Amino acid sequence: MKEQIIHIDGYRVRVNTWGDTHLPTIVCLHGLGNSSLSFIEIGEELKDEFHLVSIDLPGHGRSGAFESEEDYRMGSMVRWLHAVLVELGVSRFYFLAHSYGADIALHYMKKYGSSVIRTILIDGGYTTKKTFYEIVDGLAQSPDWKWPNINSVEKEVHYTSESFSAFEYPHVTAFLENEEAKASEWSALKRKASEDYVKEMGGKIKLITTPEVAAAAIRSMAQSPIRDLYQELDSGSITLLVATLPAEFSVINEGLLEEVKRLSDITIKYIEDTTHMLHWDDREAVLQEIRRDFK
């Protein structure tokens, strides 16, 4: 693995790469609150077959945060990502994108689709916020529903900001023990990746990504609905891998995926017994898809 620091419009950007540059290139975009090292196991596995370029999004990992919330809007994020790829000399590539990164990848494809050969989305790129809020609001009317009724963008922003603010551990050992307990399979590489998205602040372990950055990301996704993109993309070149856990969220996912099926030709595959960190829970399933689709 090679770490590289570049600067775009005065902002620091960290990039981690695996494999020789003459190999087919995969650009990796991580999810909200994570970092480029969330793909470390995949990078190590594929470094003899592909050139993987994994980028810390603004305000994540070792990349600087934007000063203005407007800079997190999807149009600005696409321009930023394109400038990063130009600086790195990446012009034709495959996309591997998780969660929030999947939304960014789809918006990038709308503007620069000719640069992207094929795309694999990891449990992301299928949540249109308006539809999500409507589904959750309906489910929340049931007395059996145990989750918050997040039925508006402001409620989601509040819930996400509170979650990021409340993330705190007394020391790194406690944090890593919790990460290991959640993982279906633990490794030294996962430990390295986990350590990469937290920092010590005021004697406590906190997320590097601030509540403000998280809130800006949520608003950007709400302002630029995913469903508006599908018919403008070469959706037949996209595979979406969907997590199945927790099981009570399946009714939400199915409602969201109905839009995907109706508006696109995206190939949808359910990866059993996986959570939102699907590429950590079943790395082999993701590797299999990459080796099949990215040729």
Tell me the residue range of the domain where 193 lies.
2-293
Specify the number of domains making up the chain. 1
Say what the pLDDT of residue 92 is.
Answer: 97
Cα separation, 104 vs 67, in Å, equals: 19
| pLDDT per position as a tens digit, 151-164 | 999 999 999 999 99
Encode burial over 49-62: b for 16+ CB neighbours within 10 A, e otherwise.
Answer: bbbbbbbbbbbbbb
Split at pLDDT 50, 70, 90, the class of 239 is very high
Q: Which two tokens stand for residue 57?
A: 């999004």
**How high is the pLDDT of residue 12?**
98
The pLDDT tens digits of the residues spanning 161-192 come to 999 999 999 999 999 999 999 999 999 999 99
H/E element, 285? helix 283-293
Give me the CATH number covering residue 212: 3.40.50.1820
Q: What angle do CA 42, 47, 55 make, to 5 degrees?
A: 60
Mean pLDDT of the chain: 97
Reported as a pLDDT band with limits 50, 70 and 90, residue 143 is very high
**Is 91 exposed, middle or buried (CB count within 10 Å of its CB: 0-12, 13-18, 19+)?**
exposed
* Alpha carbons 235 and 286: distance in angstroms, whole number: 19
Instruction: Label residues 11-45 b or e (16+ Cβ within 10 Å = b).
Output: bebbbbbbbeeeebbbbbbbbbbbbbbbbbbbbeb
Span 63-78, pLDDT tens digits: 999 999 999 999 999 9
pLDDT at 295: 82
Percent of the chain, pLDDT > 90?
A: 99
- Residue 12 has phi, psi (to 5 degrees) of -70, 135
User: What pTM value is reported for the model?
Assistant: 0.98
Is the confidence at residue 195, as pLDDT, over 90?
yes
Q: pLDDT value at position 89? A: 98
Q: Is the peptide bond before 24 cis (omega within 30 degrees of 0)?
A: no
pLDDT at 189: 98
Of the pLDDT bands very low, low, confident and very high (cuts 50, 70, 90), residue 104 is very high
Backbone angles phi, psi at 114, to 5 degrees: -70, -15
**Model confidence pLDDT, tens digit, residues 203-230:** 999 999 999 999 999 999 999 999 999 9
Closest CA to 249 of 230, 274, 227: 274
